[in-house]
């Protein structure tokens, strides 16, 4: 349909003029962009096709989602790593006190004999 629009509008230097009011289009630039894209999509003009643009947008959205997921996984890994460090500290504390407690228990036992 867009390919037909320039033919129905008055032309000046190969460009449509006065179409923005007749077709209730926001600006002449909008019509130019649509016309340009209409030439790019079938390969008549160099540029990014609508399909390529849609793929790029989808890939950018997927990339953003993967980056968010990666940040969540990093935070979870950091949290789990700090949790793993705590039991080691607790075990060390128990071992230290066990040996001290055992030594004092032996001393008490020996003093009773």
- Check whether 92 has a pLDDT greater than 70: yes
Model pLDDT for residues 51-77, shown as the tens digit of each residue: 999 999 999 999 999 999 999 999 988
| 40 pLDDT tier (thresholds 50, 70, 90) | very high
Query: Percent helix, strand, coil in the chain (nearest 5)?
Result: 75, 5, 20
**Per-residue pLDDT reduced to its tens digit, 103-113:** 666 666 666 65
Looking at 10-24, 57-71, 78-92, which range is the least confident one?
A: 10-24
The pTM of the whole model exceeds 0.95: no
Ordered by start, the domain boundaries in the chain are: 5-84
């Amino acid at each position: 349909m867009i390919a037909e629009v320039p033919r129905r509008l008055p032309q000046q230097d190969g460009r449509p003029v006065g179409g923005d009011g007749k077709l209730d289009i926001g600006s002449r630039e909008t019509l130019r962009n649509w016309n340009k894209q209409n030439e790019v999509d079938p390969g008549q003009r160099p540029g990014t096709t609508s399909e390529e643009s849609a793929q790029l947008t989808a890939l950018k959205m997927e990339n953003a989602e993967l980056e968010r997921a990666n940040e969540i996984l990093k935070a979870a890994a950091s949290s789990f790593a700090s949790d793993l460090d705590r039991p080691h500290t607790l075990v060390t504390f128990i071992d230290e006190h066990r040996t001290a407690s055992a030594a004092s228990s032996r001393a008490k036992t020996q003093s009773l004999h």
